[in-house]
Amino acid sequence: MDPYAYRKQNYTLDEDQELVREAFTDFFAKEVPTTRVRGAEPLGFDESLWGSVVELGLTSMAIPEDHGGDGAGLVEMALAMEEVGRSLAPVPIIEHVVATRLLAAANDPVHAGLLAAAVEGTEMLGFSPRAFSGRQIVSHAAVTRTVVGF
């Protein structure tokens, strides 16, 4: 394989992706001024903003349709998450989406209720990229009841 193959591809966003970017840019610019970010200290969480993010559909975005999601792609999700980061939005949405996608990929009926609640945004999930071994710090565990890990 050509080691430069990925550099030669066209990564220009299509019209729908540009609209997604604009929508999230506008939303987070309006809803997350720096005063809101500072007001969310010390936990770094704004419950009202979480409700708005759920209404906006971020908890179901990029989750397969057969698991209750909207089936958006990872590019669209990345565009949304770019704006989450740019605004320093005090909600653990990135961790939540990663954990929700892991549950969907596991496709385990035991976790179907948790997955449905996560997609709806009524259950906020955390994510740990490492196996749990005794006590460990998971930053967003202060605001989530469930942490999904390997």
Q: What pLDDT, on the 0 to 100 scale, is given for residue 76?
A: 94
- How much is the pTM? 0.86
Q: What pLDDT, on the 0 to 100 scale, is given for residue 143?
A: 81
Q: What pLDDT, on the 0 to 100 scale, is given for residue 81?
A: 95
Q: What is the dihedral of CA 27, 32, 33, 35, to 10 degrees?
A: 160
Tell me which H or E stretch contains 95: helix 93-106
Q: What pLDDT, on the 0 to 100 scale, is given for residue 5?
A: 80
Average pLDDT for 10-25: 93
Q: What pLDDT, on the 0 to 100 scale, is given for residue 71?
A: 84
Compute the mean pLDDT over every residue in the chain, rounded to the nearest whole number: 90
Of residues 71 and 37, more confidence is placed in 37
Q: What pLDDT, on the 0 to 100 scale, is given for residue 56?
A: 94
50/67 Cα distance (integer angstroms): 21
69/119 Cα distance (integer angstroms): 6
